[in-house]
Structure 1
Amino acid sequence: MELSIQERLKDLRVERGLTLEQLAEETKLSKSALGSYEADEYKDISHYALIKLAKFYGVTADYLLGLTETKNHPNADLADLRLSDDMIELLKSGRVDNSLLCELAAHPDFPRLMADLEIYVNGVAVKQVQTANAIVDTMSATIMKQYNPGLTDPQLKQLVAAHIDDDSFCRYVIQQDINKIAFDLREAHKNDFFSVPEDNPLEDFLQTAEETAREDSDPEQAALAFICKRLKLNYKKLSEEEKKWLKKIAQKSDLLKNPNPQRGRK
């Protein structure tokens, strides 16, 4: 969610652990002016105060004004970021949530995920696992040659069980990395979303669809009931003229166009 100027100014001050009095002393701006900049009833901030606060907090004026989400690197060179053309096109396309992508990359465990992924892609881990498996196989062959134990021998079965599927192991490690990051991101945003209201329109729609599919049902009445429920209307209290117009509206419902769908048929 995009922050307002007031929220940005207050967040920066709170991050520094400063009171309005302390900020006024540090910036030589009046406490009343600083308070008004953070208030709900926003007072226009002067160019002087904007530049002063931007320099004090070490951010850009564009960030304070809400023109960018980047605090410290508004003019970063793409060459320095080593982004491919495909990556730049993806970020500009709007097909992904760039804010969430930034949070993903900024997560403290993301470097480990990238390291594990690089090891998997380059085949380094696979070679190491294959080497360990070769050692186990050699030990198994030696035991079989010297002692000729049965296939049900506990020690031999332990050696067989120690044989690792290299690809599955590497993907498991990567999956664990991703799971931890995904969980942390979800926890960080768990209060960002509203819960589904008890009065769920989808549930009402599905119930109405079920009713219209019954052989003894009246599709028209089911559609009218659905519309009245969504609009919080008492059908019995409507006048005949109002019922007539409501009926005309209900007749445009897709529920009436195909009240008895053929389920399970192709």
Structure 2
Amino acid sequence: MYAKLTIPERLKDLRVVDKHLTLEQLAEQTGLSKSALGKYETDDYKDISPFAIATLADFYGVSTDYLMGLTENKNHPNTELQSLHLSDDMVELLSSGKINNRLLCELATHPNFRRLMIDMEICIDQIANMRVEQMNLVLEATRQTVMSKYAPGEDDLYMRTLELGQVQESDFYSHVMHDDLDSIVRDIREAHRKDKTTADPQPTLDDVKEKFEQALEQGSREEMAIHEFCDRMQIPFEKISSEDFSAFLRILSLSKLLKNPNNMRGKAKPQPYYAPKRKKRR
């Protein structure tokens, strides 16, 4: 996850999320060319003209500093620091670049963050602590009374139930706040699933079985190597022509790593299923 939105990400979010426009519609309303607008939203863009920056900033209602990634404030560009009521340590931390401010903002603006803060405040102020202790005292007093009067033993079902029914304060708050934080992290992770910094999803068992079955059907080492290359480079194997496949085979035949160690003397060389058949010698 990047620490801040890139310029292409900002432009695309403003167009798609805020304005709900296509590139054609944006070009019509701003007077900028569709091809230029499309290039601005790709990672390999070279530069953006000052005229385009000013035009897009005015159209989206944001500052040019926001478009160029100089500030993260889209709607509150001139907010005074005093009005945020941040401590000096917090201001220093946010300005240091040691943490991912973007992640912190997404964490704090999540709908469940308020619940997490309330539960933390209850834990810190020990508001529910008295109730937990009172419940534990009642259960423990009952357990000791039964133990002294009837001596059922520590492993008795009811004695053990009264013991396990007591809630440890640390465990109680740990589970509550853990659930709050888990829901927030899951949503943020899902929102960034398509980011370039996010790891590719791991293959499922069905995917592995399918690739294994394909490898068994492919036959020669050269064909398996071509399949593996196409999978890694995300090239649709079925779109490779017979000429390209034959060229692949000729190149791979030069590899010492793919040489067949078996003695193939006197045996016909395996041919691709779609390669032209050789004429028999008379």
Return the TM-score normalized by structure 1: 0.58
Task: Give the superposition deviation at 1:191.
Answer: 4.5
Task: Give the superposition deviation at 1:52.
Answer: 5.0
Structure 2: stretches of 5+ with no match in the other structure: 40-44, 201-282
Aligned equivalents of 1:14, 1:65: Cα separation in 2? 18
Q: Does 1:116 align with 2:123?
A: no
Amino acid paired to 2:49: D
Pick from 53, 63, 67 the counterpart of residue 64 of structure 1. 67
Aligned equivalents of 2:199, 2:181: Cα separation in 1? 25
Distance 1:159 1:175, change over 3 A: same
Distance 1:99 1:6, change over 3 A: closer
Q: Alignment partner of 1:59: what SS?
A: coil
Q: Does 1:30 align with 2:31?
A: yes
Distance 1:150 1:4, change over 3 A: closer
Amino acid paired to 1:175: H
Amino acid paired to 1:148: Y
Task: Give the superposition deviation at 1:120.
Answer: 0.9
Aligned-CA RMSD value:
3.1
Task: Give the superposition deviation at 1:192.
Answer: 0.6
Task: Give the superposition deviation at 1:73.
Answer: 1.7
Answer whether contact 1:21 1:31 (CA < 8 A) is retained: no
Pick from 126, 130, 134 the counterpart of residue 129 of structure 2. 126
Amino acid paired to 1:44: S
Aligned equivalents of 2:170, 2:66: Cα separation in 1? 45
Distance 1:154 1:60, change over 3 A: same
Aligned equivalents of 2:124, 2:72: Cα separation in 1? 33
Answer whether contact 2:23 2:37 (CA < 8 A) is retained: no
The answer for the alignment partner of 1:175 in structure 2 is 178
Q: Alignment partner of 1:124: what SS?
A: coil
Task: Give the superposition deviation at 1:138.
Answer: 4.8
Query: Which gives a bigger RCO, structure 1 or 2 (Cα 8 Å, sep 6+)?
Result: 2
1:209-253 Cα distance to aligned partner (Å, 9 max, x none): xxxxxxxxxxxxxxxxxxxxxxxxxxxxxxxxxxxxxxxxxxxxx
Aligned equivalents of 2:95, 2:79: Cα separation in 1? 16
Amino acid paired to 1:178: L
The answer for the alignment partner of 2:16 in structure 1 is 14
Aligned equivalents of 1:193, 1:68: Cα separation in 2? 24
Task: Give the superposition deviation at 1:82.
Answer: 1.3
Aligned equivalents of 2:6, 2:86: Cα separation in 1? 30
Task: Output aligned runs, 1:1-266, within 5 Å.
Answer: 1=2, 2-15=4-17, 16-24=19-27, 27=29, 29-32=30-33, 35-39=35-39, 40=45, 42-46=47-51, 50-51=53-54, 53-140=56-143, 148=150, 150-151=152-153, 152-187=155-190, 188=192, 191-193=196-198
Task: Give the superposition deviation at 1:3.
Answer: 4.6
Structure 1: stretches of 5+ with no match in the other structure: 196-266
Aligned equivalents of 1:67, 1:98: Cα separation in 2? 14
Return the TM-score normalized by structure 2: 0.55
Task: Give the superposition deviation at 1:91.
Answer: 1.3
Distance 1:6 1:175, change over 3 A: closer
Q: Alignment partner of 2:197: what SS?
A: coil
1:187-211 Cα distance to aligned partner (Å, 9 max, x none): 536751568xxxxxxxxxxxxxxxx
Task: Give the superposition deviation at 1:79.
Answer: 2.2
Answer whether contact 1:4 1:66 (CA < 8 A) is retained: yes
Task: Give the superposition deviation at 1:84.
Answer: 0.5
Task: Give the superposition deviation at 1:114.
Answer: 1.5
Q: Alignment partner of 1:63: what SS?
A: helix
1:5-60 Cα distance to aligned partner (Å, 9 max, x none): 444223311113212343355x4x2252x6424423545142xx645533443432
Distance 1:10 1:169, change over 3 A: closer
Task: Give the superposition deviation at 1:105.
Answer: 1.8
Answer whether contact 1:9 1:64 (CA < 8 A) is retained: yes
Query: What is the identity percentage for the equivalent residue pairs of Structure 1 and Structure 2?
Result: 42
